[in-house]
Structure 1
């Protein structure tokens, strides 16, 4: 495989464990998953050869569930349990911790002012997004993997891009989710939770954008060709 000229989404889809390496380098494989490794790494002044070598090592190791070969219903069940339910637990607690840090450390130059409000926005928008998937898109894909769902998928992809922009705002407010020296336990718990939430949301979007949605679009095109 020519890794340098392969998209991040394709690499994340075909190499179990690749997303861990992308997180390490800060490479966006979900919302910006169509960029090649060469393009994405160069944009961040990262040597793409270093990333490619780690991916090559990862590819040679056994592991990880291959979601690309999973039936839509099984992947949807995984997304609902591993991500939808988990996000609904994560965000209320993160908002509580953020409010506490902003109240207690409001005079600190490192205080993430506005973080609680941002997390509230993320919670409302993500919950609305997940409900649309649960009530509209997912039931259709369960019934028919080749259903004509281009419209709902386009909307979900656009909302995924909005979630990606909110993660960028989160990074900006928290200096890349970097703790200041001498941070209290609440601040530490908050930033640990933020890192976990960010990684979970990126994995969630990756599974939908790069696997579930692409498989649905491919199945639809195949059906149209056969009937054409």
Structure 2
């Protein structure tokens, strides 16, 4: 039986490739290919925009099959309730844990090194905005959107007027969440540029180095987090709502 790694073509979208083999997320990270917010682009178009040979990427994906026996993770096959639990327990918990830590570190670096490295002040400012946005964003997901998706899962299929949420179709809050994902992703992309791909300067202190490492890991986690929601959870929730109502 063929695996996705053996059948992948340049016409598949980035999100389709990652949905079928979550390990390819690391490869796309390496080449700066956005598989989350812009995951609907084909591999060809994404590579062309970055000036990368798509055949080279395809070869590396295929090599993943022969590089080890590690089982491919397929979140696309998970049930919605399990997927929501996974997102909360793995990604939301990580974000809640790291937001205050990174905020303290970026502010400290800006305070100490801001005169010689003014970009650190901008980095701290952008991350402060991300900190505020992400906290409110995840609260809305956990208090409003996710419970409604779980309610859809529990419904028998008979329309019940009492179960229609005040926000109408689930597409409305999902569109808002996707816009907020785009904002957070754009902020982290700007930080990556300002930090020269999270590369600390030669005069960086330990906190400086640690903060850049934390920012890099935060962006990588954000990409996987947003991919699971934008490209798997949200489309499935919309499809479920349409089938029920």
**Structure 2 length normalisation: TM-score?**
0.85
Supply the distance in 2 between the matched residues of 1:59 and 1:135 (Cα, whole angstroms): 40
Supply the distance in 1 between the matched residues of 2:9 and 2:99 (Cα, whole angstroms): 35
Deviations 1:89-137 (A, max 9, x none): 1111111111111122123247522222211110110111111111111
Which structure has the bigger radius of gyration?
Answer: 2
**Deviation for aligned residue 1:48:** 1.1
Note the residue ranges of structure 1 that are not aligned, 5 or more in a row: none
Q: Which moved more, 1:4-13 or 1:162-171?
A: 162-171
Report the equivalent of 2:60.
54
Report the equivalent of 2:104.
96
Closer, same or farther: CA 62–90 of 1 in aligned 2, 3 Å:
same
Supply the distance in 2 between the matched residues of 1:43 and 1:59 (Cα, whole angstroms): 27
Report the equivalent of 1:180.
201
**Deviation for aligned residue 1:44:** 0.9
**Deviation for aligned residue 1:189:** 0.5
**Deviation for aligned residue 1:156:** 1.1
| Contact kept in structure 2, 1:15 and 1:55, CA below 8 Å | no
Alignment pair present for 1:43 and 2:49: yes
Supply the distance in 2 between the matched residues of 1:121 and 1:110 (Cα, whole angstroms): 18
Note the residue ranges of structure 2 that are not aligned, 5 or more in a row: 1-6, 156-163
Mapping of residues 75-224 of structure 1, within 5 Å: 75-109=83-117, 111-145=119-153, 148-223=169-244
Q: Among 5, 27, 32, which residue is 2:11 paired with? A: 5
Supply the distance in 1 between the matched residues of 2:47 and 2:120 (Cα, whole angstroms): 28
Q: How many residues align?
A: 224
**Structure 1 length normalisation: TM-score?**
0.91
SS in structure 2 of the partner of residue 178 of structure 1: coil
Closer, same or farther: CA 36–134 of 1 in aligned 2, 3 Å:
same
Closer, same or farther: CA 110–116 of 1 in aligned 2, 3 Å:
closer
